Amino acid sequence: MNRVVVIGAGPAGLIAAACAAQGGRQVTLVDDNPEPGGQLWRGGGGGVARQKLEGVNVALLNGARVVAAHGNTLTVETRDRAIALHWDQLIVAAGARERFLPFPGWTLPGAMGAGAMQAFIKSGLDVRGKRIVVAGTGPILLAVAALAKDKGAEIAAICEQAPAWRVRRFAFHLSMAKILEAIHLKRKLRGVPLYYGTWVREAEGGERVRRVILSDGRAIDCDYAACGYGLVPNTELLRLLEGRENVHAVGECTGIGGYLKSAVEGAAAGYRVAGDDSQANKLRPVIEQARKFAVRLERTFAPRAELRSLPRDETVVCRCEGVAFGALRDLPNWRYAKLHTRCGMGPCQGRVCGPAVEFLFGWKPDSTRPPVLPARVDTLMGGSDA
């Protein structure tokens, strides 16, 4: 038997699943969102996601999260049942999440990630007439601001922490398509203040965000502060599967490189599991190209050192367990912090504070164990086979 399972129905996973199925494989595609599409085509992307699967035989499992992996079996949880999913070839396309860095006020209602703002708008958040500050780093800021403006929001400011010269140098190397995309976005955002080398130092307001203070001291009134510091790959599943054969990692979970990297890596893995190595090999040069872009992206938008001094002693770093910066500052490593302050031990399992403490203190993540996502007790008791 040659059962292919693909985890993640973002661009990488969708394309991988489609290519594998075209090659005659029996493919199951699992994703935890209600609709396929991943980050880019969240909510289905107006039908784009499902189009990728048209005419190919892929079993799509939506609203299904992979919570554990053991041997050649995945434990998958849906709203009402648990499934043991066997694989012979596994494609992990688990994507990336946003990096959040703590600053005073980041836990107030109205403060959220930049990608989060985009996701919420795509899933029904009404931003008409709202004043929004979009801040943090990366190309995503422009995309978020353009979407919000399009939906009737007033963008009070866009703050990119990377200095202007670095972003310009990055732009210089972009492909024509990407340059056109950027021009298109900028045109949409005409009249919106865009500050480079600037970041949100603090968010204020009693019950919810009312204004943000920028690094240059300026105060800007707003209803929402959308701050995201780039993306971090979702590597938990891969770490759980470490050392296993026939596991292919593709897309953002192997490094942040945008749509093209995810698409071509996905296609190559899809061909490969279908036994079509020659097609897969043809994609090598494009993949190389995409990976170079990923490196430039990372260099350009690396968070600056000043962001390490934003949190005050009382600023919460681990939101699940309510652990403040002051309690962590002088500790030797994450293992110690976990045990003695419970930082990272709450329901998000350090997905939010992990990248933050890595940036703030240089702490490396420690072991990964099942369940990689919260799971019902009966799921871990063993599900039915599929």
Partner 1 sequence: MRIRIDGREFEAPEQCSVAAAILNTGAAGFAPLCGMGICMQCRATVDGAPLMQACQLPCREGMTVETR
Partner 2 sequence: MNPDVAIVGGGIVGAACADACAAAGLCVVVVEHGVEGGGATGAGMGHLTVMDDSEAQFALTRCSVDLWNRLGPELPANVEYTPCGTLWVAADEEEMGWVRRKHAWHADRGLRTEILDAAALTEAEPNLRRGLAGALRVPCDSVIYQPAATRFLLDRSRAGIVRVRATAIGEGSVRLADGGQLSAGAVVNAAGVDAPRLTPGIEIEPRKGHLLITDRLRGFARHQLVELGYLKSAHGSRGDSVAFNLQPRATGQLLIGSSRQMGATGPEVEPRMLSWMLRRAVEFMPALRSLPAIRAWTGFRPCTPDNLPYIGLAPGARSIYVAAGHEGLGIATSLATGLLIAAAIAGGPTPVPPAPYDPARKAAHAHSH
Contact residues: partner 1, CB under 8 A: 32-34, 39, 42-43, 63, 97-98, 100, 107-113, 115-120, 123-126, 207-208, 319-320, 346-348, 351-352, 374
In whole angstroms, the minimum distance from the beta carbon of 107 to partner 1 comes to 6
Residues in 352-371 at the binding interface with partner 2, rule: CB under 8 A:
367, 369-371
Instruction: Quickly tell me which residue has 């599991």 as its tokens.
Output: 273
Pick the stretch among 1-9, 156-164, 274-282, 341-349 that binds partner 2 (CB under 8 A).
Answer: 341-349
Would you say the C-alpha torsion 346, 63, 87, 12 has a positive or negative sign? negative
- Judged by CB under 8 A, which of 346, 351, 356, 357 binds partner 2? 346
Does 355 help bind ligand FAD (rule: CB under 6 A)? no
In whole angstroms, the minimum distance from the beta carbon of 162 to partner 2 comes to 35
Would you say the C-alpha torsion 318, 321, 327, 328 has a positive or negative sign? negative
Rounded to whole angstroms, the Cα distance separating 319 from 352 reads 8
Give whole-number Cα distances, 323 to 101, 182, 229, 263, 318, in Å.
Answer: 14, 39, 21, 39, 5
Q: Are 104 and 202 in contact (CB under 8 A)?
A: yes
In whole angstroms, the minimum distance from the beta carbon of 29 to partner 1 comes to 17
In whole angstroms, the minimum distance from the beta carbon of 69 to partner 1 comes to 18
Pick the stretch among 31-39, 278-286, 323-331, 342-350 that binds ligand FAD (CB under 6 A).
Answer: 31-39
Rounded to whole angstroms, the Cα distance separating 280 from 275 reads 9
Does 32 help bind ligand FAD (rule: CB under 6 A)? yes
Q: Are 238 and 253 in contact (CB under 8 A)?
A: yes
Rounded to whole angstroms, the Cα distance separating 74 from 7 reads 10
Strand order from edge to edge, sheet including 384-385: 65-70, 73-77, 82-86, 384-385
Question: For 355, left (φ over 0), alpha (ψ -120 to 50), or beta?
Answer: alpha
H or E element at residue 211: strand 211-214
Does 70 help bind partner 2 (rule: CB under 8 A)? yes
In whole angstroms, the minimum distance from the beta carbon of 325 to partner 1 comes to 17
Does 336 help bind partner 2 (rule: CB under 8 A)? yes
> How many C-beta neighbours within 10 Å does residue 59 have?
14
Does 219 help bind partner 2 (rule: CB under 8 A)? no
Residues 6 or more apart whose Cβ sits within 8 Å of residue 55: none
At residue 171, the 3 state secondary structure works out as helix
56: its two tokens: 């190919």
For partner 1, the closer of residues 332 and 347 by Cβ is: 347
50: its two tokens: 């499902």
Pick the stretch among 30-38, 103-111, 170-178, 363-371 that binds ligand FAD (CB under 6 A).
Answer: 30-38
In whole angstroms, the minimum distance from the beta carbon of 348 to partner 1 comes to 5
H or E element at residue 292: helix 284-300
- Judged by CB under 6 A, which of 259, 348, 376, 386 binds ligand FAD? 259
For partner 2, the closer of residues 184 and 369 by Cβ is: 369
Applying CB under 6 A, the site for ligand FAD has a residue count of 36
Does 12 help bind ligand FAD (rule: CB under 6 A)? yes
In whole angstroms, the minimum distance from the beta carbon of 206 to partner 1 comes to 11
Q: Per-residue contact track with ligand FAD, 116 to 155, x per CB under 6 A? A: --xx--------------------x--x------------
How far is the first Cα of the chain from the last one, in angstroms, to the nearest whole number? 14
| Single-letter amino acid, residue 319 | R
Positions that interact with ligand FAD (CB under 6 A): 7-13, 30-33, 38-40, 65-66, 93-98, 115, 118-119, 140, 143, 231, 234, 237, 251-252, 258-259, 262, 373
Positions that interact with partner 2 (CB under 8 A): 68, 70, 75, 332-333, 335-336, 339-340, 345-347, 349, 367, 369-371, 374-378, 380-382
